[in-house]
């Protein structure tokens, strides 16, 4: 599908929205495009992590509640700017090529878990990767296996399943077998009151221009077809409760 036709279809199907200002706890939910892409200078809060004010306050409350139940929520990753995501991408891209993968094979392997620079939810200051801080020496920290029964982060998973939504944090990439895109990430949670709005705003951007206009390694291998599938399956095929 040609880029112009795809953009017209998506805009006509409700992807374009009004950016009328909204406030959450006195915080504007309207972002400049630079901040949506991780290239702005947002005001962030946190000790050992960085989130927007309302997301930070909600997380601190959730962290304290979990601690009362013996769970020590530890943030592995929170806000990432564009440059940080680019470093992650290029490190993996080069490692994959060194291991014999073709450029496009490398890209498909990366996007099992990692985002193309400029498309990460971590750019928004609303999302966190979390583990149980009592077991930081666990090998392969962010691995699905570590959240299974009888594994180090299973108690954390059960606690989050029961309580995270009451603090407005929702898992992003669920284990729904019908879901495409990024693989199941039981560690990745998003502060819904902000991230839902930011995703709507992100959908107003020209995703092709965002990606193809950049100079990260492998960018010239991303065809319209690949980008279109990535947009549909990786950016939008998430927990439906984060699409409202």
pLDDT digit string (tens) for 139-187? Answer: 999 999 999 999 999 999 999 999 999 999 999 999 999 999 999 999 9
Average pLDDT over residues 204-225: 93
Band of residue 212 on the pLDDT scale cut at 50, 70, 90: confident
CB within 8 A of 209, min separation 6: which ones? none
How would you classify residue 38: left for phi > 0, otherwise alpha for psi between -120 and 50, otherwise beta?
left
CATH number of the CATH domain containing 190: 3.30.1380.10
User: What is the three-state SS of 28-86?
Assistant: ECCCCHHHHCCCCCCCCECCCCCECHHHHHHHHHHHHHHHHCCCCEEEEECCCCHHHHH
Report if residue 97 sits inside a domain: yes
Report if residue 18 sits inside a domain: no
The H or E element containing residue 24 is strand 23-24
Looking at the DSSP bridge assignments, the partners of residue 132 are 73
Report if residue 80 sits inside a domain: yes
The tens digit of pLDDT for each residue in 70-81 reads 999 999 999 999
Report if residue 19 sits inside a domain: no
pLDDT at 22 > cutoff 80: no
Q: 49 is in which domain, residue-wise?
A: 35-132+142-242
Q: Cα 20 to chain center, whole Å?
A: 24
The tens digit of pLDDT for each residue in 11-20 reads 334 333 333 3
- Who has greater pLDDT, 23 or 170? 170
Asked if 126 and 77 count as a contact pair (C-beta separation under 8 A), the reply is: no
User: Model's pTM, two decimal places?
Assistant: 0.88
Token pair for 163: 């309580």
pLDDT at 7 > cutoff 90: no
d(CA 78, CA 114): 14
Report if residue 127 sits inside a domain: yes
d(CA 115, CA 121): 9
d(CA 102, CA 206): 27
Token pair for 175: 């284990």
Report if residue 199 sits inside a domain: yes
CB atoms within 10 A of CB 232: 14
- Position 28 scores a pLDDT of 57
Report if residue 23 sits inside a domain: no
Report if residue 231 sits inside a domain: yes
Overall number of domains in the chain: 1
CB within 8 A of 225, min separation 6: which ones? 1
């Amino acid at each position: 599908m040609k880029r112009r036709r795809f953009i017209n279809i998506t805009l006509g199907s409700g992807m374009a929205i009004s950016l009328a200002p909204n406030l959450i706890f006195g915080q504007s939910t309207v972002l400049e495009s630079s901040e949506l892409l991780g290239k702005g200078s947002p005001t962030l809060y946190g000790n050992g992590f960085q989130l927007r004010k309302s997301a930070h306050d909600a997380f601190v409350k959730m962290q304290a509640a979990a601690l009362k139940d013996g769970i020590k929520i530890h943030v592995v990753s929170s806000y990432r700017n564009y440059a940080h995501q680019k470093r992650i991408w290029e490190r993996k891209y080069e490692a994959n090529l060194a291991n014999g993968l073709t450029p496009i094979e490398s890209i498909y392997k990366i996007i099992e878990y990692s985002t193309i620079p400029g498309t990460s939810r971590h750019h928004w200051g609303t999302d966190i990767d979390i583990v149980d801080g009592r077991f930081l020496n666990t090998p392969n920290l962010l691995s699905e296996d570590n959240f299974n029964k009888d594994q180090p982060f299973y108690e954390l998973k059960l606690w989050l399943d029961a309580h995270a939504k009451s603090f407005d944090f929702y898992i992003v990439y669920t284990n729904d077998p019908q879901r495409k895109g990024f693989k199941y990430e039981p560690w990745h949670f998003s502060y819904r009151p902000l991230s839902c709005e930011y995703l709507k705003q992100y959908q107003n951007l020209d995703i092709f221009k965002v990606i193809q206009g950049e100079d990260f390694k492998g960018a010239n291998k991303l065809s319209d077809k690949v980008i279109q599938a990535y947009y549909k399956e990786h950016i939008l095929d998430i927990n439906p409760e984060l699409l409202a």
